[in-house]
C-alpha cells in the first residue's frame, strides 16, 4: 500500500504522474486526507519513489486535466482517489474514456465539477461586501464580506473579484481560507470564524430596493428557492424580508384586483 497526502491540484498531479510511471494501480494507493490517518498506516509506509519506473512515457488528455483541476477543490475526500483511478484507466485501459458520460466514475467526476461550478457561481453572486472604516487609514474605505462556500473554492474566485473590484480594498472571509486585496495584490490567509458586528448603513437602501422590485402578483416562492437556497440566506441582508413579502402578497394582489381605479372614482365623483 502506498500512502500519499496531497492538498492541491499541483501536488496531486505530480504524485499521480510518479505513480503512473511506476504502474502502481489505484487499489494500491491510499490517499490520505488528514494527519490522523497517517498514524494508522505509518508502519508499512514505504517511499514509492524508490520503486522502479516501468512506463517511460504517459500521455494524459488535456481534457482530463481540465476536469481534474476544479474537482480537486471539491469537499468530498474521495476526490483524489477518484481522479487517480480515472487517470489510470485513461492511460492503461481506454484513452477515450472521457467520452463515456455513462461511466460511473466519469459521471461522478462530471457531477463534482458541476457542483464546483455552481458553488463558484453562487459565491460570485451572493458575497455581500460591507463598508467598514479602515483602522490604519480612516480616509480609505475598506470592504469586508463573510461567506461560507460549499467547497474549497476560494482560489477559484480570485480572478473574478480582483478584476471586478480592482480599485477597492477588501477582504472576503470564509471558514476555510480568506482572500484579501489592496488594489495591487491579492493574498490568502487561513480561515476564520464568523466575524461579529458587520453592518453597513447602505443595506437599508438595498432592502428598500428588494422590497419594491418584487411584484406580489407573480409570487413563485419555489422558483426563488431553487435558485437561492435557504443555506445562503444567513449572509444575505435582504433575506429576512422574504417571509413578510410573501405573507403580504396575496393581500396586496387582491387589493389591486378589487380596487376601482381613480378614473372610475373620478367619474363617479363628477356624476355626483
Partner 1 sequence: MKTLHKLAILADAAKYDASCASSGSIKRDSKKGKGIGSTSGGMGICHSYTPDGRCVSLLKILLTNFCIYDCSYCINRSSSDVQRARFSVEEIVNLTLDFYKRNYIEGLFLSSGIIQSSDYTMEQLVSVAKTLRKTHDFRGYIHLKTIPDASPELLQQAGLYADRLSINIELPSKKSLKQYAPEKDPSTIHQSMTQLKDHIDESKESRTQKKSAVTVTRRSGEKKKSLVYSPAGQSTQMIVGADESSDKKILTLSHYLYNKYSMRRVYYSAFSPIPDASAVLPIKSPPLMREHRLYQADWLLRFYGFNVNEISENNSANDGMLDLEIDPKLAWAINHREFFPVNINTATREDLLRVPGIGAIGASRIIQSRNFRRLRYQDLKKIGVSVSKVSAFIETQDHTPKQLDSQYLRQSFVKQENQQLSLFN
Binding residues vs partner 1 (CB under 8 A): 96, 99-102, 107, 121, 124-131, 143, 145, 160, 162-168, 200, 202, 204-206, 208-224, 226-228, 236, 238, 242, 245-246, 249, 253, 255-257, 259-264
Query: Looking at beta carbons only, is 31 or 129 nearer to partner 1?
Result: 129
Query: Looking at beta carbons only, is 56 or 222 nearer to partner 1?
Result: 222
Shortest distance, CB of residue 248 to partner 1, whole angstroms? 10
Q: Rounded to an integer, what is the distance from CA 95 to the centroid of its chain?
A: 30
Shortest distance, CB of residue 173 to partner 1, whole angstroms? 14
Shortest distance, CB of residue 40 to partner 1, whole angstroms? 36
Shortest distance, CB of residue 123 to partner 1, whole angstroms? 10
Query: Looking at beta carbons only, is 21 or 232 nearer to partner 1?
Result: 232
Shortest distance, CB of residue 155 to partner 1, whole angstroms? 18
Query: Looking at beta carbons only, is 4 or 106 nearer to partner 1?
Result: 106
Query: Looking at beta carbons only, is 12 or 170 nearer to partner 1?
Result: 170
Amino acid at each position: 500500500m502506498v500512502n500519499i497526502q496531497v492538498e492541491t491540484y499541483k501536488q496531486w498531479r505530480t504524485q499521480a504522474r510518479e505513480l503512473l510511471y511506476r504502474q502502481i494501480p489505484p487499489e494500491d494507493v491510499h490517499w490520505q486526507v488528514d494527519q490522523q490517518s497517517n498514524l494508522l498506516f505509518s508502519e508499512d509506509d514505504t517511499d514509492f519513489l524508490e520503486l522502479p519506473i516501468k512506463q517511460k512515457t504517459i500521455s494524459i488528455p488535456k481534457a482530463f486535466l481540465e476536469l481534474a483541476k476544479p474537482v480537486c477543490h471539491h469537499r468530498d475526500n474521495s476526490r483524489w482517489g477518484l481522479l487517480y483511478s480515472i487517470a489510470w484507466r485513461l492511460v492503461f485501459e481506454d484513452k477515450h474514456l472521457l467520452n463515456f458520460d455513462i461511466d460511473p466514475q466519469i459521471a461522478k467526476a462530471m457531477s463534482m465539477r458541476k457542483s464546483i461550478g455552481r458553488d463558484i457561481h453562487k459565491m460570485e453572486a451572493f458575497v455581500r461586501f460591507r463598508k467598514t472604516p479602515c483602522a490604519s487609514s480612516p480616509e480609505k474605505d475598506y470592504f469586508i464580506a463573510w461567506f461560507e462556500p460549499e467547497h474549497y473554492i476560494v482560489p477559484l474566485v480570485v480572478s473574478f473579484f480582483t478584476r471586478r473590484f480592482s480599485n477597492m480594498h477588501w477582504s472576503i472571509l470564509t471558514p476555510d481560507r480568506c482572500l484579501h486585496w489592496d488594489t495591487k495584490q491579492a493574498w490568502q490567509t487561513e480561515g476564520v470564524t464568523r466575524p461579529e458586528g458587520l453592518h453597513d448603513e447602505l443595506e437599508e437602501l438595498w432592502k428598500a430596493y428588494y422590497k419594491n422590485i418584487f411584484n406580489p402578483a407573480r409570487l413563485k416562492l419555489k422558483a426563488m428557492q431553487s435558485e437561492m437556497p435557504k443555506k445562503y440566506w444567513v449572509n444575505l441582508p435582504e433575506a429576512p424580508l422574504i417571509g413578510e413579502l410573501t405573507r403580504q402578497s396575496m393581500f396586496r394582489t387582491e387589493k389591486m384586483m378589487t380596487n376601482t381605479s381613480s378614473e372610475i372614482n373620478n367619474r363617479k365623483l363628477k356624476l355626483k
